[in-house]
Structures are given as C-alpha cells and as structure tokens.
Amino acid sequence: MARPLVTWQLFLKASSLQRKRAVLTVAAIAWGTVAILMLLAFGQGLREQLMRGRRGMGENIAVVWPGETSKIWEGLPTGRAIRPRMEDIEYLRHRIPDVRFVGEITSWSTTLSYGRKTITGRVTGTNWEYGDLRNHYPQPGGRFLNPLDEIEKRRVAFVGDAMAKEIFGSENPVGRILQINRAPYLVIGVMQHKLQMGAYGGPDEDHVVVPITTFSAQLGRQRLNNIVFKVDRPGQMVGAIQRFRQVLGKKYRFDPQDKQVLGIWDTVRGARIMDNITIGIRLFLGIVGALTLLVGSVGVANIMYAVVKEKTREIGVQMALGARRGWVTGPIVMQGLVYTLLGGATGLLIAVVLVMLIGLVPTAGNQALEFLGKPTLSWPIAAATAAILGTLGILSGYFPARRAAGINPAETLRYE
C-alpha cells in the first residue's frame, strides 16, 4: 500500500461502508455508457447505411427530365416542349468536357420473355458509361455494356438482379437469350445487389439495360427520356448545372434561367440535406445518452455527499492536524472519478459485446433491419464518450469535495 496515500486509503475504507450504493451507482454509470454508446453506434450505422444507399443510385450525379418553356425567349412563345435528342449527349460532352454525360431512352411496358415466361417490365437504352455513373456493377461471370456494344448496336442486355430472378428463376441468365419486344438479346450480365434509396422510374434491380444505339434503332426513337451527368466533386455540381442549362439553352433557344424547361434532380443537394438530418439524429441520440449518464453521475455525487457527511468529524480531525484543502478534496474527487471510469469501462465492455452480437444477426432479406444498418463503434464515438465520462466523473467528485473543504473544524469537533 502506498504510504503517502493514507488519506486515500482512509476514504476507500470509508466508502466501503457505502458499498451497496457504490455498486448500484457504478451500474448506473455503466448503463448510461451502454446507452450512449449504443445510441451513437446505431446512429453511426444508420449514417453509413444512408450513405451507402444514397450512393446506390450514383454519387455526385444529377438527373434531368425534359419539360416545356415557361418564359418568352428571343421572341419564342412559352409552352414549347424541349426534348433533347440522342446526339445531344455527344454535343454536351464536347462543350462541357469535365462533366460526364449519359442519355437514357426508357420504355416502360415492354414485353420480356424467356422460354415460356413472359412479363412486362422496364427497359433502359443508355450509353456504356452508365454502368459507372449509376453504379450498375455486374455479378461475377458477367459484364456491363462496353463501347463496342454501343458502336456496333449489339443486341446485348444487362439485367437487374430482381428482374433476373423473376425471369430466369434459379437459372444463370448470362449467355441466355432474352426476347425484348420479340427481338432476341443476349444477356451479358446481372447487376450486383445494392442498397438503393433514391430512384426515378423505379429501382435499378427492376430494369433491363441495353445499348442506347440498339434500342433507339429498335424503337425508332431519338428523344431522350433522361440525361444523367456526374461531376468529380460535390462542389462542382452547381456550376455544372448552370453550364448545362446554358449549352442546351443556346441550342434549343430557351432561357437558361427558365427552371421549367428541364427538371433537374441535384442529388448532391439532397445528400447535404440528408447529412444534416443524420447529424441531427445522432446529436439527439447522443444527448439522450448523455442525460442518462448525467443521472448516473448524480448518483456518484450522492454517494460522495453521503461519505462526506458520514466522515465530517474525521475530516475535521484531519483539518485540526493540518490537512490543507487539497488533502481533503483530492481523495473525494479521485473517488468520484474512479467510480465513473469504472462504470464507463464496464459500459464500454458491454457495448462492444452487444455491437458484436448484433453484428451476428443476419439482416439479408429483412428490409427494415437492412435499412437500419449495423451499429458501429468508432474512435470518435469512444473519444466523445470518454470525454463526457471524464468531465462528469470530475464534477461528481468536485461538488461533494467542495462541501468537505467547507467544513468548519471547530464546529465539527465541538464536544458537549
């Protein structure tokens, strides 16, 4: 036993009288720590899931719909339909080289058949770069469209995973012939399953993708249903949209300020809002956890108050013998801290085990669980919790210690 800590030892002996309460309080702190860690961990898991889901459609992209003019421009009337054409993609790429463009020709109720199975579904004719822009990655053994498919107008199809299951069942679709409006297409790949939150027209797992050139020829259509473009960094999106409107405005003669001509869904902006929402959620969860901890700390402080009250005479004796305030307060503050950190360490251990156990629960197939994501503990969460615990620990000892320091030895030692 360290001799210089006789008073410390004294206080430990004193607190053992409060053992039952101490155990309860450490448990309360542990519970608070578990609560704050789990809440933050779920918040983190949710955040990561949202980010993944958001990226599911594509990162830093904007989606464009055609519309009608609502402003008079260069003597032309309002209400003119502006429908960009397939060759505008090349034109846009040429005029705005640092932004990547693809066009889409969509056909909704298309007959899709394989063998005896026939369904109606959505088919998208698009450029080969679409795979990267819109996160269409092939499952092993398949591929997405390539430049030659587009140039040679090949009849090849890339199938969404849900649709593949519906048409082909348990068969491997790659290498089979899929009839699209009674024209035979060779299936070259099936999309890897992905979590997707945003969508237009429908989820990506539910459509078939074919080369835009092939599809345009088959349908005899030149007009695009959508244009999708992608910037490298989120900050470039506003400028890209502006230039996009100017380039097409010049070509089709409409006011670049006219928002009705082209509907543009800027996913970067949506993402920022989503970020703020998740920050809000996590802040809320963190505050709830912190309040739980605070309640535990009040418990610690109460124990220390009880110890001080019980030991008033002994503290008075120590003061009479020449103990400075630090001698009296130090052990109390230390003890509050020790109780709190003990509870915190216990809570951390429990939380880690819980997170691991929850990680073992299978979520595939259960949409609600899949959306919720897995709770994730991170260093920032641990650091924040440790900081809160440390602060509360010191405070829970500080106030009782202050009371102890205020003891008047003469009054305490009065003997009648």
Partner 1 sequence: MNWPSLRKSNGGPPSSNGRIIEMNNVRKVYDTGKVRVEALRGIDLSVAEGEFVAVVGPSGSGKSTLLNLLGCLDTPTDGRYLLAGDPVADLDRDGLAEIRNRRVGFVFQNFNLLPQLTALENVEMPLLFGGVGGRKRRERARDLLERVGLGDRLEHKPTELSGGQMQRVAVARALAMDPAVILADEPTGNLDTTSGVDVLTLLSELWRQGSTLVVVTHDPALAERAQRVVEIRDGLVVADSRNGSTSH
- Which run of H or of E encompasses 283? helix 267-310
Do the strands 117-126 and 100-114 form a parallel or antiparallel pair, or are they unpaired?
antiparallel
> Cα 162–108–269 angle (5° rounding)?
75
Instruction: Give me the least distance between CB of 416 and ligand ADP, in Å please.
Output: 8
Does the protein bind partner 1 through residue 4 (CB under 8 A)? yes
Q: x/- string (CB under 8 A) for partner 1, residues 5-24?
A: -xx-xx--xx----------
| Largest CA-CA distance found in the chain, in angstroms, rounded | 111
344 conformational bin, left if phi > 0, alpha if psi -120 to 50, beta if neither: alpha
Instruction: Give me the least distance between CB of 408 and ligand ADP, in Å please.
Output: 8
Q: Which is nearer to ligand ADP, 283 or 320 (CB)?
A: 320
Task: Pick out residues in 374-413 that bind partner 1 (CB under 8 A).
Answer: 405, 408-410, 413
Q: x/- string (CB under 6 A) for ligand ADP, residues 375-414?
A: ------------------------------------x--x
Closest CA to 80 of 89, 90, 70: 70
Instruction: Give me the least distance between CB of 3 and ligand ADP, in Å please.
Output: 35
Phi, psi (deg, nearest 5) at residue 114: -140, 120
At 342, list the tokens.
């003990």
Site size toward ligand ADP (CB under 6 A) is 2
Q: How does DSSP classify residue 171?
A: S
Q: Which does 190 bind (CB under 5 to 8 A by kind): ligand ADP, partner 1, none?
A: none
Does the protein bind partner 1 through residue 309 (CB under 8 A)? no
Q: Which does 13 bind (CB under 5 to 8 A by kind): partner 1, ligand ADP, none?
A: partner 1
Does the protein bind ligand ADP through residue 415 (CB under 6 A)? no
Q: Determine the Cα–Cα distance for residues 229 and 340; give it in Å rounded to an integer.
A: 53
Cβ neighbors of 2 (< 8 A, separation 6 or more) are: 8
Q: Determine the Cα–Cα distance for residues 141 and 199; give it in Å rounded to an integer.
A: 27
Task: Pick out residues in 310-369 that bind partner 1 (CB under 8 A).
Answer: 313-314, 317-325, 327
Q: x/- string (CB under 8 A) for partner 1, residues 254-293?
A: ----------------------------------------
Q: Say what the alpha-carbon torsion angle 330, 332, 337, 338 is, to the nearest 10 degrees.
A: 100
What residues line the site for ligand ADP (CB under 6 A)? 411, 414
In the complex, the residues that contact partner 1 under the rule CB under 8 A are: 3-4, 6-7, 9-10, 13-14, 313-314, 317-325, 327, 405, 408-410, 413-415
